[in-house]
A and B are shown apart, each in its own frame.
Chain A
Amino acid sequence: MEPIISVRGLGKTYAGGFTALKNVDLDIRRGEIFALLGPNGAGKTTLISIICGIVNPTGGSVTAAGHDIIRDFRAARSAIGLVPQELATDSFESVWATVNFSRGLFGKAPNPAYIEKLLRQLSLWEKKDSRIMALSGGMKRRVMIAKALSHEPGILFLDEPTAGVDVELRKDMWEMVRGLRESGVTIILTTHYIEEAEEMADRIGVINRGELVLVDDKHSLMQKMGEKELSLQLPAALDRVPESLSDLPLSLSEDGTQLVYRFDIKSSDTGIAELLRRLNTANIEFRDLHTRESSLEEIFVGLVRGAREEKAESLTKETQE
């Protein structure tokens, strides 16, 4: 199936010389929830801003719904709704006026019935005549979502949708995003909450220092990159890992009461049976055992740190040369 958004060789260097994006290639599939994950300043917002037409790229090309975002900007932008990170609203306007304004701005004929449905869906109908400045932060964000959806776009960008939103509202937001996907909208969200990506996304792209480090299906990412740990609670503390088991990937907790065995999830032979047999031979007993998968957070931190170390290494090399 043709991707709904296709990014090729996209680069952005700001006038000051700062390179925010380096040669990014990315395909977004129709109907998916795609999470763009990365630390602050990684280039997430720059990437989104270019696709939406707010920032001019310095290289590369983007198509949205099959239309080039520059040559055919009307068709491309009509297909996109954007909810930016900052809460920027016209304080003195009413909810009703501002959402209808957005629909008109995007070139659509008025459709009060659709706007009513949208406002009801976002629990804003009761507030339709309120001035935006009188609304709470969570409601303002919902108004911005209503504005972004007012022209019935097939693609929705949510830039940090839950930044500064409390836990309860965050859950509501996730629920709403899932509902939108059900109705056929493709959703691209950026976040630096890994929990959010883990909860919501079908696929994940990790961006760091302007480079797309990887793009993968969430589950396969967690499987491929993830490790599992098997912890064994010992009845008596050991002072070190026994000699006879030293060839296994074992480590001992600080207090010596826990043996930790690391293994690869994807390998067919995890080595657990062998471990248990050898523990038995070595006469080591255990009271309890449990396993734990590494979370996306650990994978992410590993990736970002890995990239930094690589960079540091190459820099050291360069200076040596």
Chain B
Amino acid sequence: MNWYGIRAIYKFEMARTWRTLMQSIASPVLSTSLYFIVFGAAIGSRMGDIDGVSYGAFIIPGLIMLSLLSESISNASFGIFFPKFSGTIYEVLSAPVSAFEVVAGYVGAAATKSLILGLLILVTARFFVDYEILHPFWMLGFLVLTALTFSMFGFIIGIWADDFQKLQIIPLMVITPLTFLGGAFYSINMLPEFWQKLTLFNPVVYLISGFRWAFFGMADVNVGISLGMTLLFLLLCMLAIWWIFRTGYRIKT
């Protein structure tokens, strides 16, 4: 195992994070704070509790997931896309690092960054609403699992994208709508029956539901199913990456 190689990639990616602190940490924290002000404090104060949880607290898990998904994807996709774009990928390809080590470095750094961000948002939320975390270990577990899974998904997008537009299109056109419609701001029980059924095809529902269960002990779907779906998606991403390196898709001619 080339530990120095993993560390080099990881450090390189983290250095990029600190270099772009405003963009990578400050701006998502700020935008999430705005959500808390608008939905938590302003609108939330006029809304009833949902299953005994105040609306301001209810949206915390969803908002964290919203940032976690989009930031994991954009960090990891940019991290691998940019060397392809600038040509510096030659060095990684010619280095004695295996596919696993490359992924560990890039995805590990992207997931770390998302994790820091998620925790920062959690702390920020405290300034706006009161909340307690019922299952802190599960909460952390879902956080790590989601950060890892979606950083991998971002890595795949970064490999697939051959221009900047493609880099943006999946997060913008697919992930954002799925998150908004995945119960970030509402319980899916509040939907008409038909939409309740349809919404179960949205994988983000399971992530948010499981995460919210870790906070408040209430869930739209069984937490076991939530965990299973998250693990399934992780497995799919791993398979896709395995295939990418086996065939050299979009990285080797």
Chain A residues within 8 Å of B, Cβ to Cβ:
14-15, 52-56, 73-78, 80, 82, 84, 86, 88-93, 97, 100-109, 147
Q: How far is the CB of B3 from chain A (nearest CB, A)?
A: 8
Contact status A54-B252, CB under 8 Å? yes
Number of A-B residue pairs at CB separation under 8 A: 82
The 27 listed contacts between A and B (C-beta, < 8 Å) are A53-B94, A55-B252, A55-B253, A74-B2, A74-B96, A74-B98, A75-B96, A76-B96, A78-B96, A80-B94, A82-B91, A88-B87, A90-B88, A92-B16, A92-B19, A97-B12, A101-B12, A103-B8, A104-B11, A105-B91, A105-B97, A106-B5, A107-B2, A107-B4, A107-B5, A107-B95, A107-B96
Main secondary structure of the interface of B (DSSP, over half): helix
Decide yes or no whether B60 CB sits under 8 A from chain A: no
Contact status A109-B4, CB under 8 Å? yes
Contact status B2-A86, CB under 8 Å? no
With A101-B12, A105-B95, A107-B97 already in contact, 8 other A-B pairs whose C-beta atoms are closer than 8 Å: A54-B94, A56-B248, A56-B252, A74-B96, A82-B94, A90-B12, A92-B19, A107-B95
Chain A residues within 8 Å of B189, by CB: none
| Nearest opposing residue in chain B for A79, CB measure | B96
> Given the interface contacts A55-B253, A82-B94, A105-B97, does A88 sit within 8 Å of B88 by beta carbon?
yes
Decide yes or no whether B86 CB sits under 8 A from chain A: yes
Contact status A105-B9, CB under 8 Å? yes
Q: How far is the CB of A99 from chain B (nearest CB, A)?
A: 11
Among B7, B12, B94, B253, contact of A77 (Cβ-Cβ < 8 Å): B94
How many chain B residues touch A (CB < 8 A): the figure is 26
Per-residue CB contact flags for chain B residues 202-220 toward chain A (1 = under 8 Å, else 0) read: 0000000000000000000
Contact status B94-A104, CB under 8 Å? no
Q: How far is the CB of B54 from chain A (nearest CB, A)?
A: 44
Q: Counting chain A CB atoms within 10 Å of each CB, which of B87, B96, B97, B253 scores highest? A: B96
Chain A residues within 8 Å of B11, by CB: 101, 104
Q: How far is the CB of B244 from chain A (nearest CB, A)?
A: 13
Chain A residues within 8 Å of B98, by CB: 74
Among B5, B15, B19, B87, contact of A105 (Cβ-Cβ < 8 Å): B5
Decide yes or no whether B92 CB sits under 8 A from chain A: yes
| Nearest opposing residue in chain B for A91, CB measure | B86
Chain A residues within 8 Å of B248, by CB: 56
Instruction: Tell me the bound Cα distance from A15 to B253 in angstroms.
Output: 8
Chain B residues within 8 Å of A88, by CB: 86-88, 90
